[in-house]
Chain A
Amino acid sequence: MNKFELKDITCGYKKTKVLTDVSFEMGAGESLVLLGPNGVGKTTLFKTMLGFLKPLGGTVEFDGEAIADWGPRKLAQKIGYVPQSHTPPFAYPVIDVVTMGRLSRIGAMASPSAHDEQVAYECLERLGVAHLADKLYTEVSGGERQMTLIARALAQEPEMLVMDEPTAALDYGNQVRVLNQVSRLVDEGLSVVMTTHFPDHAFLCATKVGLVTRTGIVVGPPEEIVTEESLRRTYGVDVRIVQRDTYDKGLLTGCIPIIEFTAGSCRCHRHTGCEGGCGSSSACSC
C-alpha cells in the first residue's frame, strides 16, 4: 500500500449524518490511533473505512482506487480487520480460526490447503502464540483470543490492518503484549489503524492520531493532537501529559488524569520519599 485516503467523507446511516468532512491520509508503515469519547461516531467512521457502510458523501481511496467499487474479496486481500473478540457459537480450534483468514486467497468453492494452514501457523508464530494452535478458540483467554484474531487478519496477507479497540477487555499484561505486537507489525511495514479509549496508546504506538469529536476529526502527530488542552475539551477531564527521560528507553510520555483524591497520605513535595519520617520541622500545609 502506498496511500490510504479519506476524501471529504460524510458518514452515517440513511438520514442521520454522524460525521461530516472527514479527510486524512496515511502511508505505508504508518499507524493511526483513533481517539474519542463514546457516541461521537468512531465506530461509524470505522465501518465506513472498512467498506461495511457506504459513505453518504466523499470517497475512501486505497492507492487511488475507491474501495466502494471493490468486492469483499479484494477488500479482504488489502485490508485486514481485527474485530473486538467475542465468542462464536462453535468451538473451533485456534488454528482453524486463523486459517479462515485465507478465505479471500482461495476459491469460493475451495477449502484451505495444507499450505494455507502452514501460512496460518506462521502467523501465529509471528505473534509468538504458536502454542495456541490446537487449543479451542472458545476456551483460551481474552488476550489469547485477541492474538488469534490478529493472526487471522495477518493470514489474509493484507497491506493494512484495522483494529477495533484491540486492548479492550484485556488485563494490563495482555494490553501491553498486544500493543507490542502492533508496533512490531508497524515496524515491519504494515499500516495500522486502531481505535482505543486510552490516550496513552497514542504515545506508545502511533505515528498519527485522529481525535474524533462532535465537531469533526483532527489528525496529526501525537504530540500535537494529544495535549492537556485537547483532552480536557474532548473528554471534560483534567489530564497532565507527563514525560520522563530514561537512560535505556529514551523519552517516555504518558497521560495521567487528575483525581481529587484526598484520603490517605499527603502528596505534596515536601515529604516525598520520606513518608513524613524525615523529621523535618517545616510543617506541611495541606
Chain B
Amino acid sequence: MDSSEEVVEQNSPAVPQRQASVKRRRAYAHTKLALVIISVIGVVAILVSFTLGHYYVSIPDVLAVISNAVFGTDIETAAVNNTVIMQVRLPRIVAALFIGAALASAGASYQGLFKNPMVSPDLLGASAGAGCGACLALLANGSNLEVQLAAFIGGIIAVSLTYAISAVVSRGSSMTLCLVLTGMVVAALFQAVITMSKFAADPNDRLPAITFWLMGSLATTQLADLPKLVIPTLVGVIPMILFRYQLNALSFGDEEARSLGANTRFIRLLFIVCATLVTSSAVAMVGMVGWVGLVIPHLARMIVGPNYKVLLPTSTLLGAVYLLIIDNLCRCLLAVELPLSVLTAVIGAPFFIYLLMRGRKTWA
C-alpha cells in the first residue's frame, strides 16, 4: 500500500506542472508577440508620419533620406525632401515618441508606487508644478531654455513639497494615502498659480503664449529642442526600467515589500525622482497633456498583465507609439492643427471608460 501511494504522489504533481509550464510558455509567447506587434505598428507609424503633412513625401523618398542620413548612402532624392524630413518632421516624430514614452512610463510607475491603478503623473502635483514653473517663465518672457528649466524646477518643487508634507503628516506610518491626498492639495495650489499667471498676463502677447503652450503642440519643435527632452527622458526612464521588478513588491505595500527584501525607501525615492523628471521634461516640451499616463498603463496591463517585468517596457513602448499616432491625427484630422491635450482627452476619456467596463479584473 505504501509503495502504491508513493507512486501516486510522485506522479500527480508532474501533471499540473506540465500543464502550468505549457500555460506559462503560452503567456510568454503572448507577451513577446504583443511586443513585436506594438514595435511593428510603431515602425510603420514612424514611416507613415514622415509622409504626412502639407508637403507629400513618398515612402521610397523617406527611406532614401533616412538611408542617406544614417548609412551615409548616396541615393538621389529632391533636396526639399531632405529638408522636410530632417528639419521639420524628424524632430516632431522624435519628440512625440519620447513624450509618450515619458508620460506612460511615469504613469505606470506611479500606479505601482502608490498601489493604485487610478493615479497618473498628475498625482503628486508633478505636472501641475511643471506647468506652473513654465507659466511663470512664459509670463516673464523667458527663453525656450528658461521655460524648460523652470518647468523642471516647478515639478521637483511640487513633488518635494508633496513628499515633505506627507512625511510630516503621516509621521512614519503608511505614507501612501497621505501622499495621494497631499498630491491633490499641492496640484490644486499650483493650478491656482497657473490661473493667476494667466490672469496677470498681457492679453495681447503673453496670455496667448501661455494658453497655447498649456494646450500643447509639437508644431514648432526643432532639432535643437530635442536634447532638452531626450536627455532627461533617457536619464529618467533607464533607471526605472532597470529597477522595474522591485515595483511589484511595492504594489503589495511597504511592509510586505520590505519583508520581501526590497529597499523600499531607496526604490520609492528613485521612482519618484525619475518619474517626476520625465514628466517635467515632457510638460516643459508640450504643456499639460493629460490622460496618456493613465490610459496607456491600463491598456498595457490588459495586453501583458500586471507584472512590471513586462508591464513597464510595454507601457513605455505603447505610450511612444500612441502619442505619435495622436500627434499625427492632430496635424492631419482638420485643416488647422488641433492641440494635443484636446485629442488625448477626447480619445483617452471614452477609451478609459471602455477599459473600465471590459477590463475590470485587471485592476479590481
Which residues of A come within 8 Å of B, CB atoms? 47, 50-52, 71-73, 75-77, 79-81, 83, 88-93, 95-96, 100-101, 103-104, 106, 108-112, 117, 121, 125, 130-131, 133-134, 136, 138-139, 152, 156
Contact with A89, one of B16, B20, B117, B249 (Cβ below 8 angstroms): B117
Question: Shortest CB–CB separation between residue A176 and chain B, in angstroms?
Answer: 21
Chain B 2-27 interface 0/1 with A at a Cβ cutoff of 8 Å (1 = within):
00000000000100110010011000
Q: Cα distance A211–B307 when bound, in Å?
A: 41
Contact with A136, one of B251, B255, B256, B361 (Cβ below 8 angstroms): B361
Contact A125 B13 (CB under 8 A): yes
Contact A100 B260 (CB under 8 A): yes
| Contact segment of B64-72, B186-194, B238-246, B336-344 | B238-246
Contact B258 A103 (CB under 8 A): no
Question: Shortest CB–CB separation between residue B107 and chain A, in angstroms?
Answer: 14
Contact with B243, one of A81, A96, A108, A130 (Cβ below 8 angstroms): A108
Contact A104 B20 (CB under 8 A): no
Contact with B307, one of A79, A92, A109 (Cβ below 8 angstroms): A92
Question: Shortest CB–CB separation between residue B315 and chain A, in angstroms?
Answer: 13
Does B232 belong to the interface (CB within 8 Å)?
no
Does B77 belong to the interface (CB within 8 Å)?
no
Q: Cα distance A59–B23 when bound, in Å?
A: 47
Contact B256 A81 (CB under 8 A): yes
How many residues of B sit at the interface, in one of the four size bands? Answer: 35 or more
Q: Cα distance A100–B262 when bound, in Å?
A: 10
Contacts of B211 in A (CB 8 A): none
Contacts of A47 in B (CB 8 A): 255
Which residues of B come within 8 Å of A, CB atoms? 13, 16-17, 20, 23-24, 111-112, 115-117, 242-246, 248-249, 251-252, 255-256, 258-264, 301, 305-307, 309, 361-364
Q: Cα distance A88–B264 when bound, in Å?
A: 17
Contacts of A134 in B (CB 8 A): 20, 23-24
Contact A52 B260 (CB under 8 A): no
Contact A103 B245 (CB under 8 A): yes
- Can you name 17 extra interface pairs (CB under 8 A) apart from A83-B259, A95-B24? A52-B258, A72-B258, A73-B261, A76-B261, A77-B261, A81-B255, A90-B251, A90-B306, A91-B361, A91-B362, A96-B248, A103-B249, A104-B261, A111-B245, A130-B16, A130-B20, A138-B361
Contact A95 B261 (CB under 8 A): no
Contact with B246, one of A51, A77, A103, A130 (Cβ below 8 angstroms): A103
| 6 A-B residue pairings within 8 Å (CB atoms) | A88-B115, A90-B251, A91-B305, A91-B363, A112-B309, A125-B17
Contacts of A125 in B (CB 8 A): 13, 17
Contact B249 A130 (CB under 8 A): no
Contact A71 B117 (CB under 8 A): no
Contacts of B309 in A (CB 8 A): 111-112
